[in-house]
Structure 1
Amino acid sequence: MYIPHKLDNPVWYSLAESHEKLAITYNKTHFYNPEYCAFGAFNAVANDPQDLVLYAKTVPSFFIFGAKPILPESLYVKDELLCYQMIVKQPIVISYVDEITKLNQSHRPELLVLVKIVYPEYFKSKTADLGNYYGIFKDHQLVAITGERMQMDDFIEVSAVITHPDHTGEGYAKQLVAHTANAILKQNKTPFLHVATANNSAIKLYEKLGFNTRTTISNWQIAEK
């Protein structure tokens, strides 16, 4: 008998475990408090469409990880993002060229400015409270970040791999992803991440760092009609 792995349904298990206090539950479906991120998942053969209607009233759009949800007439699939789910199990050994700073509340305004330039749709006002975030500064400007998002008892997601457009190609993402993954491994947890299957440059970077593709997973963006 096939027993689903927790990483097959990372949103559900994050909200059942480490991020339980952030969960909003409608019957069969778990959702994150939308101040943190607009993600949801169901842990059943089929979801109850009315669960999605209730959550849709709180956000402009939201994302369901995993199986395609059954939708009511009032909602539609705005987009499907097919991702590789990748993991790394061994420490990443690289040479660090730049100083990496663990970000705190005083850095939050700069972090949000950077996110809005590069990666606005998934990032909410309290997303950076989901885990640790790290950054690289140049001339007192925050130019690159990486952090932690979904968390389970045994796994933590590496997320928000963001570099300012004026500073790409300088190796910042490589250093930050390695640093973040190694910090997770020091917690005796396994780092994992999601990357769009079409993002070849990022995939090559993660593979060079030692990440292996575990599976593919869909991320369904849902909105009201």
Structure 2
Amino acid sequence: MTNTDVTQLDNPLWYALKGAQQAYAIGSSHIRRYRSGILPFAAYDYRSPGNIAELDSFLEKDEVFFLVGALPSLPSHWKLIRELPCAQMTLELPPAPLQTTTAVTALTAADRDTMFELIHRVQPGYYEPDTHQLGNYFGIWQDDKLVAIAGERMRLEGMVEISAVCTDPAYTGRGYAQQLIVHICRTNLEKGNMLFLHVLTSNERAIRLYEHLGFRQRRVISFWKLINAGTILGTKL
């Protein structure tokens, strides 16, 4: 495994946006966000929380976005919609072999709309039409349609986040999610990457699955859903 600074996972978005995924970022030396259409996630350097207002110049009016981790003092026109406490889990044990014959397919830009439709239907709000550009996505097709998907979202130095794990409700209970997660884990372990993921602390079923696959909770970290409700750079919109 490559040398990794696991403490970067305490502020994962910041280190992704200033490092391995900076090509997908806009912002300044203190704040960054993914470009529009990629992901509605923003981050700031915890060492300079007073600069969070700089993010204003990179937000649209009434834009809904997420911060991850420590919540700074917010500008008055940013409104907190919801806190989403998540278990941050890292892969500690290699996944055991699976007994399955279902084919896993690497998804491409040609599958862009199909990927978005499935994820948006099952897990709306955390995936944009071009999120797939951030990493490799894999799917399982049945009956000539995409029925399960999982992929890579945040990427830090030597660390990759598994995300967008979802299955069409009509095809659950067949082990598709497990198969896709194991596939991504093995692919990245071969490259020397460490795997991590985020799952709502209330999603006990998913947490049990991840524990079965070798993941262990590292910490609880919150995703903060916010809306920019009116002022950018001191000008009322």
TM-score by length of 1: 0.93
Matched ranges for 1:20-59 at <5 A: 20-45=22-47, 46-57=49-60
- The answer to whether the 8 Å contact 2:40/2:64 transfers is yes
Residue number in structure 2 paired with 1:139: 143
Secondary structure at the counterpart of residue 36 of structure 1:
coil
Matched ranges for 1:153-164 at <5 A: 153-164=157-168
Per-residue Cα deviation, 1:115-135 (whole angstroms, up to 9, x for no partner): 121122011121011000000
Report the identity percentage.
37
Matched ranges for 1:93-104 at <5 A: 93-95=96-98, 96-104=100-108
Secondary structure at the counterpart of residue 41 of structure 1:
strand
Residue number in structure 2 paired with 1:61: 64
In 1, distance between residues paired with 2:50 and 2:11?
14
Structure 1 unpaired stretches of 5+? none
Residue number in structure 2 paired with 1:148: 152
Residue number in structure 1 paired with 2:234: none
Per-residue Cα deviation, 1:24-57 (whole angstroms, up to 9, x for no partner): 1245212111221111111134242422322332
Structure 2 unpaired stretches of 5+? 230-237
In 2, distance between residues paired with 1:49 and 1:213?
29
- The answer to whether the 8 Å contact 1:53/1:72 transfers is no
How far residue 58 of structure 1 moved from its aligned partner, in angstroms, is: 6.7
In 2, distance between residues paired with 1:31 and 1:224?
14
Residue 13 of structure 1 pairs with residue 15 of structure 2: yes
Residue number in structure 2 paired with 1:110: 114
Per-residue Cα deviation, 1:158-205 (whole angstroms, up to 9, x for no partner): 000010111111111111111111111111110100000000000000
Residue number in structure 2 paired with 1:129: 133
In 1, distance between residues paired with 2:75 and 2:187?
42
How far residue 110 of structure 1 moved from its aligned partner, in angstroms, is: 1.5
Residue number in structure 2 paired with 1:86: 89
Q: How many residues align?
A: 223
How far residue 69 of structure 1 moved from its aligned partner, in angstroms, is: 2.4
